[in-house]
Each structure stands twice: as C-alpha cells, then as structure tokens.
Structure 1
C-alpha cells in the first residue's frame, strides 16, 4: 500500500498521554510523528493542574509514606465500574510508579508526593495523602523556544490570575489565606511577571510555566530533543486498515489529505468528545451544552468516531469528569470550581433555596450530587453559591476577585453576580423563596455555632479541610453567612472532559466488541474508557492513567521489554 509518508509510530493528539507515548517510542529508536488538530499543542492537559495520581511511588516512600499496591488496587476496584477488568486496573497500579520514575529520568520531570487526601475517605484502601503528585516548581518558557511557547495551549482562566499570571500551588495557598510574609510572595510573583519587559512588550502571557503548562513544557523539551516532529492544524480524517490491522491514518495537513503509514502502530490520544454538541446531546443529556465544559475547544470526538468505524468497542459513553463550574459570558470554556466551595461564610443551594450536599466534596463528587439531586421544583443546574461580605473580601468566587471593588469587576462578571443588603432581597434577585432561603441560612448558621455540619458532614473529611481556611476554627470550612451585603453567583453542572470511550486492555490496545485487539491501534487518555469507570479516586486520576497507558502503549507498539 502506498503512503505519502511512513513512520514507525503515529501519535494523534498532543496532551500529556500523547507526549509520554511519543517520547517512549522515540527513546527506543522509533521514528515518531505527532499530529495535533488545533493551532495550539498541549491539549486539555496544559489547561489542568498537572497533578497525577500514582500509587506506590518512590517519591512517596522517600517522603516517609510508602504505599501498598494491593491496597491501592482494592481501593480502585471498589470504586470503578464492574465492566472494568481487573487486568486493566493491575496494569495501571503496577506500572504507574514505573512510568513516573521513567519520565523523571528521561524527561527531567520533577514531581513531589503531596499530603493530598484521596477523594473517597470512606472507602477501604484510601489514603490521606502521597498518592497525588504535583510539580512544585516552574519552568522558564524561554527554554522551550519561541515557536513551541507561542503555540502552546494556554492555562485555564481558573488556574491563573486575570488569565495571565501563573501560580504554583503553594503560592495559591499563601495568597488565599495570607499567613505572615504573604505580601513578599505576591510581590515576588508580580515582580517576576512585570519585570519580564521583553515579554510584556510582545504579549500578556506569562513565561513562567506552572502546573499543567510546566508538565507539558518539560515533556515538549524532551520530545524536541529527540527530533520528533509535531504538526499543528493537522486533524485525523480516518484510519487506514489492511487485512484487519491498522497500518496508518489519513491526516489533513497544509490543505492536503496525506496518507501516513505507521509501521508499528497508531496511538490515539486526542481527548474526549465533550465539545461535540451532537455527541454530548446523545450521551450526556444531564449537561448537554459544550460550553459547560472546562476543556479546550477541539475535543469533539473525531478519533472516537474514526475508531468506531473500524470496529472499535466503546464503554461508558455516559460518563464524564463531572464538576460544578462558573460560566462567564463570552468565555469559550467554563471555569472549574475547586476551592470556593470549601471556604467558610458560604453555602450552595438548589433552586428551591435548600442545601443538598456537602459543599466541600471533590468537584467530581459534587457534580455527581448535582445530577443525582436535580428534580422538578428543586433543580440544581444552576445552583447558587451564596456568601457574605467576609467571604467577598477574603476569597475568590470563580471570576470574582477578592479585594477588587464590585464596580471594578469586568462587565461580564457583574452580569452574573448578584448583591443584596438582606438574604430576603438576595432571594428575590435569584428567584428563590425568601422564606426558604432565610430558613436554610438560619439552619446553617446554627450548625456552624455547634462546630459541625450535622446535615451533610462538611469539614469532617481530611479532603474537605484541605481547602478550608486554617484561621477559622474549630472547622475551617464552616463560617456563618450573616454579615451584609450578601452575594450569589450561579454554579452550573459541567465537566473537565468525558471519560467514557474506546475499550482498551492493559497495554492500551483498542478492543473490538468480541474482546479481541485491533492490531496496530492504541488509545489513551480521555479518548479511552477510563480505568476508573465512573469514579474519580483522587487528584490526578485523569492524567496519571493517561500517561501510564501512553507509556505502556508505546512499549507494546515498539516491543520494548517489560523491564525497560
């Protein structure tokens, strides 16, 4: 069969899973081509916090918190869906720590194990920390080269100040809770940004890369060092099949449909389908608008459809990484709500004016609660984040920045923020029952006085307290809602990507409906049905498996010995 170009491995997509797969194949001597549909590379991974959930890492052990892989397996097995095979779970649990050590060695990606609790503390096998890993440092974009930096996917507006200035996790905590010396930290970050005069003259983008952009930047440097090309604006058109094997793909590049041969395999790592209106309407009716997603705009399921056309099986297409989100008019993606819901002096109510869940739950679990408790007369999409003047002056509420006068907030933000002198007046502005909302606030304030949320257990779990204000006691997530003026901003049901998709095995091979593998075809990341099923065990349970199965898929494609 004639091709316009031949490579050993073709990687479709440019997020973390894609780049790890490409890097492992290239390091083994394979000729690799990476193709990206959009004008920017990095995928949804670049817009993320960059955290990875890795049980049993050498970093956790070095920090004095060795893990038990059998416990980790049991934890995931209890949470994931019945249609996820034990072998696939074992493939992740047994290899994730090996992948982490490999990227540390081969790409100089420096992670740290954090005391970040798992999301299901009530489930046996969970831990109160050191499975979630984050890059604590930053990297200078100048080490990437101008072209790679200019074409890199931007950080999420939810993970940067004014959509411009990047923060590390420890800096965010310092700015949020303002311990002694916090002004020095702010001055250092702001100074680093504004004193970068050459960059300020050409762009508002911050050349200090943190979180997801730091991870992707470091992987891209390693990829570039191998000489592996990365084509932008080069979407997948179709897969090429020969005698039951995938031997390449048609890629639209520079206005031409090119037949790219892939001697050893095609790795699909092109993200989920959350920005596709038709697929979302069909499979995610609870949240059918693409704008409710916090992911980047090119995740429209092209690779999912292409794989189905060659007989690939699918699983759990009704699943997503659910989340409550802020939706600002004019923005092309929603903003994930992470810390806001655990902060004191606030509650979340449905359209009946009543609380319905522990506000401090992880975003996926709170999103699930929004779906489960949505009903006529008590709709939860949107819900309302209600807070008082103390919250307003101290903490962010999505796009609402503390310390900035209401009148100085951007017009689009003022459009969705409601303010009132009394709870009853706020209820009228949000079309809630004044009597019900006042009763809800009174009940909550009574519980705060007791120091425990007897209704929903907010602040009982270690994860809840992670984002609480340590200056508030005895429960850092609880504070009365009683000091005027009062505010409300809508919280919508959204997501950070779909997690149902192509059925794969423990080597990342795409499977047919009969369970047999499609030779030459692999899928990783949100394009593949998640090993976690419908659950989200801990921070980084998206990127951790994506990178691990990318690492395993490349090894299988180029036949790397298991010990390598």
Structure 2
C-alpha cells in the first residue's frame, strides 16, 4: 500500500507528529513549526512538560552565546579533551560534533523565535573538574525565571514541579531564595527579598493553586509551553501513541488512543519520539538497571518506555554499549502517614556540606560525599560488590541538621516528629546508639566519624578527598573554613537517613544518527522516524560530565530533528 493509499485511512493528517511534551519534543515541534510545517504534539498524561518540568532545568551547551557575558572563553578543543577523558572509546564523534555545532545555534534560534530565555552561570564547574578540558563556568545555562501568569488559563496545563521542592505548599525557590528566607532576620537585604517573595506568593494563592513565579525546569517547560501556544501548535493531552504506521520501511503516521478510542493520524514528514525513556517501566528497569528491586526513579510515572517500544516494533535498535543505562542519583524514601512514598533526590543540598558522611552497612565510608549525584550512585554500585552498600546511610549531627537539613528535613525545621515517627530520620544520643538503630557496625562507624572529625580539623580528607575539587567546593559552604566541605560530627543528637540508588532519567535509548534519525539493527535510518530527549540514547553514553547534559542534548537534537523535517539548513534556521 502506498503512502497516498495509506493516507485515505487516516482520521487526520499533519506534517509532523511529536510524541511527548518535554524539552526534546517541544524543541522539535517549535523548530518545525517555525519553518512552516503543520505540527501536532500528543502527550499521554494530562499535563505538559514531561521530565523537563520536574528537573533542575540546567542546560549544558559548550561555547554558547552567553559564555562571554560571564567572562568565559571556551574552545572546541577543550570540550573535546574533557569529553574524551570521560567517554574514552564510547565517544561517538559524529554525535558530539553535531551537538557542539548545533547547540549554540539552537540557543540563538530559540531566544530569537520563541519565549525561551537563558541566563549563564559564571561559576558552575563541570562535574569532573580536575580533568583536562573541564570548565569552571559558562557551559551551563539556566532558563530565566518565568511568570506563569503569562500562560493565562493554560497555567494549570503545565506539569507541577516535585512537591517536596516547594515551600509553603506551592512556592518555588532557588538557592539564593533559600539563603534569604533562612537569613530573613540577619540583614535588610534578606528581609526585603524574602518579603517580596512572600507577598508575591500570597497574591498568587488568591487566584492559582500554586505560585506562578517559575524557576528551574518548570520555567523551561513553561516557556516552551508559552511558545507552542503562541505558535498555535495543537497540544493534545491524555493521548497515548499505540502503534507506528508504516508504508514499507517508512513511518507515515501512528495510531493513538484517547478516552478508549483509537484513531489514525498521518505524518507526511515524520514522527518524533520524545516520550522520556523508560524510568517508570518495571520490566525494562529489571532488564537494564542494576539492583532494580532497590532502585527509585524521580522521573514522572508516565515515562514507561513507550517511544522505545513503538520504535522497536518498527525495526529500531536500542543502544547497549553505555557505561550505565540511567542518570543516577541517591534517593531517600519516606512512607508518609497517608501511606504515600515520598522520594527525595540528594542532588546538591546536603551531601556536599561540612559535617556529613556516607557509610555502608559495615559502617565504613565508601565515597567522596561531595562528588556528583551520578558518581555517588556509581560508587554505591561498586562498593556493594564487596560490602553491603544498598542502602547506604548519610550520617550527621544536630548542628548539621539545623544548618543544612538532610533530605526531606529542611534546615531549622521546627519539628522532626513526622520524620522520626515514619522512620525516615533515625536519631540517637550517641554514635554507638545510632549504629545499633541502623544495624551497622558500631566500631567502624565510630572510627569513620573520628576520621571525619580529624579531616575537618586539618581541612584535608586523606581517605576520599572531599572538598578537593572545584566542583566539590562549589556546592560546599563557602563560609566554612578551611574546607567548605569538611566539618565535624560531634554535637548530639546524631542523625541518619537511608539512601538508595535511583535515577533522574534513563540514558539507554534508541540508536540515532547525527540528524536525530532513528536507526535500525543495520544502522540504517528508518525513514520518517526521529528521536530526541531520553528516547534517544545519550550522546554521553551513560556518563554525566556536567550540569545539564540531558536537557542540552535534548533541546539540541530536537532542534536538529525539526530542521531535518523541514529540510532546512542550520544557516537557514538563524534569525
């Protein structure tokens, strides 16, 4: 049956159908629509934004147009040297070259033609900042804060951020906001800034279910949603892709299911798969992730590998040669009074601060606590091969808990009863008693605490080097000397939280080429089929070089897919 004949059986037709509404899918939709194509976005859940909306929002784009604004002179040679040091023979030069070529152009295109705006980080060290070619800033950019009121009645269409990252029941805050709120009585500037935040939030709650001052990934998703609405791109929620439709080897459309009804949608130019990978698919987790029975994902529950399954049925291939198949983070879990499991990713707020250690079941430290969340879980996996390390335990004292918080326990928390009653937070008057409650070796835990106290006094951690790199120190407490990451554990009571391996998304995905075209088992492009975001195998092969290495490639290869679908060159795409 020819494509023309197949089209007669479609209930509707568009030039492009994008499956998924995160950064990768929306970038493809916006780029294609800018070039005159008729684009439809379908989304399985009832909200727009996917994993992007609940993410930190960082976007890693080396040599981006904003780098020089913060005094950073980056170079392709430095970026390649850094990535080569991390990826080794897993570095696909064609994909990296495409990313480095198109990334800066993508930023310029989006800022000129959509509501996306970015703010550079003058200081944001790459995660392995001691390696050749690493940068201390400029490569990571953040979405500018966004006023959700610009979405009007569509504000409620945007996926909510993770509830545990909100304060006062619905207010988003950044690191600077947290400092102002905690120090509201310490300076006029803090009082002024905090009062402004609280007044804005109070007014928001008179009209909206949460605050409309959007930050991080929610700001990025909100800006993409605003851009799609401005371009009048139809966004169809509660619509699941059920099957790709083929004419010979070519993808010409797809079947979708909405409210129990199946319809056939034609895609004259192609289909873009951007469904967010498979972090919520238990069977795929068991097949592709280590220790899946003790693994906790922070990704949306709708990310069940739909794109991968559809593409496989059409002959696509999933990449298996990765250093790891997910982007790891340690996660603590609390069973709340209502029976709900609340998960918290230990990304940047506690492990790096002075006065906390991570130990395994033997009571021994096994890692530099201040390394990246991804490397922390890699260390858990390695250590577990010789000593039980899943779960591991973050151990601190009363001073640390008051100053920095621990997981779900916020700094200066007025009451700990909810966390203690649930068993999430374990407390004891002595280190020996804490060891007994945790079931870890008391002698080894006492020794680990004593060794950290010695390291704190000297400012040097001979065992694991906590605080020895620019990335470590960036997330420590700059007011604490001589090492912003090393502090004593000596003020009772003592506390601990269990942490498990988890993820913020999957890295394994569909094999694609440098034009975001999905490849079959013979590495040939499947005509009419594209992938971006976490449906596309990570160009970092499961490594995690810096903040934003998921969203940076997602936006960039979504942009590349949009250009390819429109048959536009990158030069033509410029404003």
Distance 1:533 1:164 in 2: 36
Aligned-residue offset at 1:70: 2.5
| 1:97 aligned to which of 104, 129, 146 | 104
Contact 2:130 2:470 in 1 (8 A): no
Which residue number corresponds to residue 319 of structure 2? 315
Deviates more, 1:519-528 or 1:118-127: 118-127
Which residue number corresponds to residue 301 of structure 1? 305
Per-residue CA distance 1:408-429 (angstroms, 9 max, x = gap): 54677x4210111110111111
Distance 1:382 1:190 in 2: 38
- Structure 2 unmatched ranges of 5 or more: 1-5
Contact 2:42 2:236 in 1 (8 A): yes
- Structure 1 unmatched ranges of 5 or more: none
Q: Structure 1 pair 218/68, CA: closer, same or farther in 2 (3 Å)?
A: same
| 2:384 aligned to which of 355, 358, 374 | 374
Which residue number corresponds to residue 419 of structure 1? 427
| 1:10 aligned to which of 17, 22, 27 | 17
Query: What is the SS of the residue equivalent to 1:502?
Result: coil
Q: Structure 1 pair 303/288, CA: closer, same or farther in 2 (3 Å)?
A: farther
1:269 aligns with 2:277: no
Distance 2:464 2:97 in 1: 34
1:21 aligns with 2:28: yes
Aligned-residue offset at 1:393: 1.0
Distance 1:53 1:457 in 2: 26
Distance 1:464 1:173 in 2: 19
Contact 1:138 1:168 in 2 (8 A): no
Aligned-residue offset at 1:99: 0.5
Which residue number corresponds to residue 365 of structure 1? 375
Distance 1:225 1:142 in 2: 14
Which residue number corresponds to residue 459 of structure 2? 451
| 1:251-270 aligned within 5 A | 251-270=256-275
Distance 1:358 1:270 in 2: 34
Which residue number corresponds to residue 190 of structure 1? 198
| 1:34-113 aligned within 5 A | 34-80=41-87, 82-113=89-120
Contact 2:420 2:427 in 1 (8 A): no
Contact 2:180 2:191 in 1 (8 A): no
Per-residue CA distance 1:478-500 (angstroms, 9 max, x = gap): 11000111101111110101110
Contact 2:515 2:564 in 1 (8 A): yes
1:341 aligns with 2:351: yes
Query: What is the SS of the residue equivalent to 1:41?
Result: coil
Deviates more, 1:156-165 or 1:261-270: 156-165
Contact 2:181 2:190 in 1 (8 A): yes
Distance 1:288 1:558 in 2: 44
Q: Structure 1 pair 79/280, CA: closer, same or farther in 2 (3 Å)?
A: same
Distance 2:487 2:550 in 1: 32
Q: Structure 1 pair 173/49, CA: closer, same or farther in 2 (3 Å)?
A: farther
| 1:184-263 aligned within 5 A | 184-199=192-207, 203=209, 205-263=210-268
Per-residue CA distance 1:25-70 (angstroms, 9 max, x = gap): 1111100000001111100100011110010011002222121022
Which residue number corresponds to residue 400 of structure 2? 391
Query: What is the SS of the residue equivalent to 1:192?
Result: helix
Query: What is the SS of the residue equivalent to 1:328?
Result: strand
Distance 1:81 1:508 in 2: 22
| 1:509 aligned to which of 517, 538, 546 | 517
Which residue number corresponds to residue 410 of structure 2? 401
TM-score (norm 1): 0.95
Which residue number corresponds to residue 486 of structure 1? 494
Which residue number corresponds to residue 284 of structure 1? 289
| 2:438 aligned to which of 422, 425, 430 | 430
Contact 1:340 1:397 in 2 (8 A): yes
Which residue number corresponds to residue 174 of structure 2? 168
Contact 2:127 2:546 in 1 (8 A): yes
Aligned-residue offset at 1:80: 2.6
Contact 2:148 2:214 in 1 (8 A): yes
Distance 1:122 1:268 in 2: 36
Per-residue CA distance 1:220-255 (angstroms, 9 max, x = gap): 111111111111110110111112101111111233
| Cα-Cα RMSD | 1.8
Distance 2:11 2:334 in 1: 45
Aligned-residue offset at 1:106: 1.1
